[in-house]
Amino acid sequence: MSHELITYYDDATGERSGLTAGELGSWTAATAALLTAECGLARGSRAGVLLPPHWQTAAVLLGAWAAGIEVAFRGWSTAGLAPDTGPPLDAVFVERRRVGSWLEDVPEAPHRFVLGLAPHGAPTPDVPHGYRDFPAVVRDHLGTPPPADGVGLREVATVDGTTYGEYGVVAAEVARNRGIGPGDRLLIDATASEEPLTWLMSPLTAGASIVICANLDRTLLDARIAAEGITHFD
């Protein structure tokens, strides 16, 4: 199973989903096309991401960055998202369970997407008013090639002004400090690591693959480490 770049488990439901680098790249390119070709966003636009660690979250983040869009990120357990200064958000992505319970924490944006994070990217049931179902609408763009113009190292990646070059340097340093290198396979406890720099970008920058476990059942841990060829556990 080491050909999968990102694998997702939910021990509460028994779900296991896995994407190769090509499949994740396809979802990434589709997300970039959704934001640019359909929503009209461009370099310098801002997208808020209010999602837990998940393979669809990876597609949203990587797709926004591929399009040169600045990202504001908060995990599931962190309240608040809107940047303190600067222009408002142009798009927001939010996990379905959050809408209606912490609605006041979801900032306004012209383009609002909800993700049910259902197995295999299935459509979200009961889409709230004012939102579009990301897994459904992004599929219209699957097969779209990635943006022709890559982002420059000096372009801004996050709403706090961090550039892609600076973000990449930090991601590489985090990977080195964790002892993660090419070919490693990292097991992530989704409840313990919501920052994408930790669970997504540092392993990808190092050339490692990722296994995300939601609702981690530690009685399954030894068997999963063996089955997935895990070399690091966070």
- Is the pLDDT at 101 greater than 60, yes or no? no
Q: Is 233 helix (H, G, I), strand (E, B) or coil?
A: strand
**Interior/surface letters 195-219, b for 16+ CB within 10 angstroms, e for the rest:** ebbbbbbbbbbbebbbbbbbebeee
Token pair, residue 32, equals: 């970039």
CA-nearest of 34, 75, 57, 65 to 116 is 57
CA-nearest of 72, 75, 33 to 51 is 75
Condensed to tens digits (0 to 9), the pLDDT of residues 63-92 reads: 999 999 999 987 544 444 444 445 689 999
- Is the pLDDT at 7 greater than 80, yes or no? yes
Question: What domain range includes position 78?
Answer: 4-233
How sure is the predictor about 98, in pLDDT bands with cuts at 50, 70 and 90? Answer: low
Kindly give, in sequence order, each residue whose CB lies less than 8 Å from that of residue 194, ignoring residues fewer than 6 positions away: 52, 53, 75, 76, 77, 78
Across 77-226, where does the E strand assignment appear? 91-95, 111-115, 132-133, 185-189, 209-214
Report the CATH number at residue 93. 3.40.50.12780
User: For residues 157 and 153, what is the distance between their CA atoms, to the nearest angstrom?
Assistant: 9
Q: Which pLDDT does position 79 carry in this prediction?
A: 43
Higher pLDDT, 129 or 210: 210
Segment 32-51 shows an average pLDDT of: 94
Condensed to tens digits (0 to 9), the pLDDT of residues 118-172 reads: 988 899 888 988 899 999 999 999 999 988 888 899 999 998 899 999 999 999 9
Name the domain count of the chain. Answer: 1
Residue with tokens 């690091």: 232
Strands 4-10 and 15-20: antiparallel
Which run of H or E residues covers position 56?
helix 55-66
Q: Which pLDDT does position 20 carry in this prediction?
A: 97
Report yes or no: 32 and 64 within 8 Å, Cβ to Cβ: yes
Report yes or no: 7 and 199 within 8 Å, Cβ to Cβ: no
- Is the pLDDT at 180 greater than 90, yes or no? yes
User: For residues 135 and 166, what is the distance between their CA atoms, to the nearest angstrom?
Assistant: 31
Q: Which pLDDT does position 1 carry in this prediction?
A: 46
User: Positive or negative, the Cα torsion across 198, 199, 203, 204?
Assistant: negative
- Is the pLDDT at 217 greater than 70, yes or no? yes
- Is the pLDDT at 203 greater than 50, yes or no? yes
Q: Which pLDDT does position 204 carry in this prediction?
A: 97
pTM comes to 0.92
Q: Which pLDDT does position 8 carry in this prediction?
A: 97
DSSP 36: I
